[in-house]
Structures are given as structure tokens and as C-alpha cells.
Structure 1
Amino acid sequence: MTDSLTAKSVTVIGHNGDEIEAYLARPETTEPRGGVVVIHHMPGYDRATKEIVRRFAELGYDAICPNLYSREAPGADPADAAAVARAAGGVPDERLLGDVAGAAAHLRALPGSNGKVGVIGYCSGGRQTVLTACNLDVDAAVDCYGAFVTGTPPEGMPFKVTNLVDQLPALRAPLLGLFGAEDKYPGPEQVAELEQILTAHGKDFEFHSYEGAGHAFFSVDRPSYNVAAANDGWERIAAFFGRHLGA
């Protein structure tokens, strides 16, 4: 771990060659290190997400969060940008993969990179993390309560989303899943379905569910924040990325 780091906004090349905004944090060290792509939650590219990016830099990684709503609402307040994105049906899966691939390439090109990149996402970003790990070459993936990896989205959802059941056999990276036992999306039955599918296909995964925790238990700025679950989750994330990314 290090207390010395730098953080700034940068531009990365995303899907279809688009230039998109991203937030990059780096530890001030000359040691070779892995990188982490942080996929923000549905509320957007907000202050809490940027704090998570800086935390990974403190843990010794280069970390970056692409602003998935850059195209819909460049420069907008995160809440306003998220509303615009929801009204447009959310971020298409193909575009998400292109943006994450661009962020990962940016990390691998940085001086000091050891070439390894992990990905982590929260809420909608948790689903997108699994999507990434099924389609891109990453070294580790962490799904924090991603909804609709399995299961069926309810009618009336304000955005377009499908589950990833048909893609799960193609999972390419070790997966850590952290879930709240009191969550509804994903509920315990959806987590169990995901575990069964991954087990049947011989995938490398590790799941933990926290009693008394609901959705968004990592969110320090929301009533759903659960100190015990979040602290334990951070310890597991640090250990998991430490094994797979070499920091």
C-alpha cells in the first residue's frame, strides 16, 4: 500500500474509436504493477466511484474508470447524465465492451504496467464486469451485486438489459462475487443459479454473501452502506487481485 498517488481526468479511446472521459489514479512507485478497470454503477461517474479508483491506487494498482455516459451527457452532473442514459435505454453491451477494452489498453500502455488487468463493477457495473470477463482478455474480475447476470428482468425496467446465461460458458477469468443476502436484484436464488452454471462449466470462481446486507452495501454515501460487509468485501478484493494481478 502507498499514501502517495496521483489522480486526474484523461481521455481514452473507446468503442468505435470514440474519445471518452475517464478518471485515472496511479501510485507513485516504480514497482511493476497490475491495473484495475472500475465500471461505475448506474448512478454514474460520481464522486464515490472516483474514491474507489483512488483506493485501488492506494492498494498499489493503476486504476481507471471510463465515463460510460460521456456520449449522452458530456460534462453533465453525474445524476443528470445517468438520467439521460437511462432514458436512452442504458449502455449497450457492445459499446460497454469497447469502452472497457479501451480503458484496459490504456492501463497496459502505462509505464510500470506488468500487463495484467482486472475489472470490477458495482450494481449494473457488476453485470457489465461479468460481460467483460466473458468477452475480453482480463486477468481477474469482481462482480459486486450485479443484477441480471442470471434471472429475468421485470417488466417496466427503465433500461434495456438481458441476462448473460448464454455467455457464462465463455467466462475467461477468475471471478469473485460479493452479494447481499437481503438484495432483490440479484436475489439469493439468482446468485445460486449463477453458482450452479459456473460449477457445471468448471469455472474458477469464489462467492460470498453477507447476511443483513442489501443492494449497494459498498456505497458509503447511501443508506444501504453496510460497514461490516463492505470492510470484509474490501479485504477479499485486495487478496483476490493480489493473487491474480501481482501487486
Structure 2
Amino acid sequence: MRDGLEAGSVTVTGAGGDEIEAYAAHPVGAPPAGGVVVIHHMPGFDEATKEITRKFASWGWSAVCPNLHQRDAPGADPDDAAAASRAAGGVPDERLLGDVEGAATYLRDHPTGNGKVATIGFCSGGRQSVLAGIGLDLDAAIDCYGAFLLTPPPSEYKLNVASLEPRLGELSCPLLGLFGAEDKAPTPEEVKRFDELLTELGKPHEFHTFDDAGHAFFAADRPAYRQAAAVEGWRLVREFLGRHLAGAA
């Protein structure tokens, strides 16, 4: 069955050696290929994110999404776990790196893998995907409207995250950025500055900003969904991964 896939809950070894819940999807009957770590948005480890994980498997790449909020509210539903994570100041950067590294190791060790791994993240996960590209050895990273990447969030957000600007020189893989022209976090001005900084540093990247789209334009289950931007965005994601996950590591 060359167009089939298998999906379900798995366990990966995350930061500090913790065993954490994850959702994985693998193509069936396809040749070995790269893998994708899906970094969920602040609303958490939800059905929409699991659907995205399955999308990559349907395209021929194994994918896994670790539950980044599990430690904050074990066994809770995604909304409650996200609220607990936000109340704790968000996912600490070093813990995020450990959890994503564990997910990447899972993909590299899986029989469907070719040793290459990329990350993709949405909203808070977009920032975290860039962070993973800085702190880990990856083959590619994708930032979908990552908020508060260069500028820390206002105090009312109660998120304890720092600017990644001082660390952009450490980015070790190509980066794809997908943004909405009507977004407030990040604004088009912030995206422009991000683009300029990466260009000055000589970091390979490509950014695309979509008109008539704001934050979360990929979210098909939300009013923010914008079909034209999402369809073109997924085409760009697939083409970018096809270039950077081909072959063997």
C-alpha cells in the first residue's frame, strides 16, 4: 500500500531524560525519507496539530509532534494544559530544545527515516522552530508566523521568553518563513527586520508574506483561516522540504 500511512501515540525521550507523549505518523510502502518534527501552537497538542502531522506522512515523510505541555498538566485536555503552560511562563527554551531533540532522534532511528530532520512550528511553535534551528543540528526549519521572536512579549502575555536576536548567528540550517500581512505578532515590520538580520548574517532563508492574511491563517478550524494563503503556504512547505530532506544524511 504505497499511499497508506500509520499513525498513533508514541513516547519519546525529551529533556532531562523525561519520557513524554507524542503523536507520530509514518508513510507505508514508501522509500526511506526525511522526517519532520511538528511543534504545536500555544493552544497545544490538539487534533488540528495531529492532522498536520498526518499530512506530512501522506506526502512521504515521517512526522512526530511531542506534547510540550505534558509536564505542566499531565493527562489534561489541550486547552487546560495550554493554560497551565502559559501560567508557568511558557515552555522554557532549554526544555524545548531537549524535547525537540528527542523527537528528532526518534525520527532518525525510525526505519522510515534517511537521517535528515526538519522542524515546523506555528505561532509560539514558529519561534521554537527557529530556536531549534539555532540550538540543534537540523537540515531545515520552518517558521509559520512565529510570535515574539525578536521582541519579548508584553507583560500581559505572562510568557517568559527572550529575544532570539542575539543568537541568530548560530542558525545552522536553511529557514523558510511564512507570514500574514495583517498579523500583529509578528508585524510586517518585525518580519522585515528579521529578514534583514538573516541577510546580514549570511543565513540561507526565504520569507513569504501573504496579503489578506493575519495570524494563524493555516488554522482550518478557526475564523483566521485563509484558504488562498494556506494552499500556497503548504505548496511552499512541501517544495522546501523536498529540497532539504532529500538523499541521506
TM-score (norm 2): 0.97
- Partners of 1:116 and 1:152 lie apart in 2 by 31
- Partners of 1:242 and 1:80 lie apart in 2 by 36
- Partners of 1:233 and 1:124 lie apart in 2 by 18
In the other structure, the counterpart of 1:243 is 243
- Partners of 1:209 and 1:157 lie apart in 2 by 25
In the other structure, the counterpart of 1:148 is 148
SS at match of 1:166: helix
- Partners of 1:245 and 1:124 lie apart in 2 by 24
- Partners of 1:83 and 1:214 lie apart in 2 by 23
SS at match of 1:84: helix
Q: Equivalent residues in 2 for 1:133-212 (5 A)?
A: 133-212=133-212
In the other structure, the counterpart of 2:129 is 129
The offset of 1:29, in angstroms, is 1.9
Query: Percentage identity across aligned positions?
Result: 61
Whether 2:218 is the aligned partner of 1:218: answer: yes
Given that 2:26 and 2:112 are in contact with CA atoms closer than 8 Å, whether structure 1 keeps it comes out as no
Q: Deviations over 1:96-130 (max 9, x none)?
A: 00000000000000013110000000000000000
Given that 2:108 and 2:117 are in contact with CA atoms closer than 8 Å, whether structure 1 keeps it comes out as yes
- Partners of 1:129 and 1:29 lie apart in 2 by 29
The offset of 1:149, in angstroms, is 1.3
Counterpart amino acid of residue 196 in structure 1: E
The offset of 1:30, in angstroms, is 4.3
- Partners of 2:229 and 2:53 lie apart in 1 by 19
Counterpart amino acid of residue 167 in structure 1: R
In the other structure, the counterpart of 1:105 is 105
In the other structure, the counterpart of 1:86 is 86
SS at match of 1:153: coil
- Partners of 2:88 and 2:211 lie apart in 1 by 35
Counterpart amino acid of residue 146 in structure 1: G
Which blocks of at least 5 consecutive residues in structure 2 are unaligned?
none
In the other structure, the counterpart of 1:28 is 28
- Partners of 2:99 and 2:112 lie apart in 1 by 22
SS at match of 1:25: strand
Q: Select between 65-74 and 13-22 the one with higher mean Cα deviation.
A: 65-74
- Partners of 1:3 and 1:47 lie apart in 2 by 22
In the other structure, the counterpart of 2:42 is 42
Which blocks of at least 5 consecutive residues in structure 1 are unaligned?
none
Given that 2:152 and 2:163 are in contact with CA atoms closer than 8 Å, whether structure 1 keeps it comes out as yes
The offset of 1:78, in angstroms, is 0.4
- Partners of 2:130 and 2:165 lie apart in 1 by 11
SS at match of 2:44: coil
- Partners of 1:3 and 1:186 lie apart in 2 by 37
- Partners of 1:102 and 1:155 lie apart in 2 by 31
TM-score (norm 1): 0.98
In the other structure, the counterpart of 1:15 is 15
The offset of 1:246, in angstroms, is 1.2
Whether 2:68 is the aligned partner of 1:68: answer: yes
- Partners of 1:187 and 1:213 lie apart in 2 by 12
- Partners of 2:93 and 2:151 lie apart in 1 by 17
SS at match of 1:36: strand
SS at match of 1:156: helix
Counterpart amino acid of residue 130 in structure 2: V
- Partners of 1:243 and 1:152 lie apart in 2 by 33
SS at match of 2:146: coil
Given that 2:36 and 2:119 are in contact with CA atoms closer than 8 Å, whether structure 1 keeps it comes out as yes
SS at match of 2:232: helix
SS at match of 1:10: strand
The offset of 1:21, in angstroms, is 0.1
- Give the aligned CA root-mean-square deviation in angstroms: 1.0
- Partners of 2:46 and 2:119 lie apart in 1 by 18
In the other structure, the counterpart of 1:52 is 52
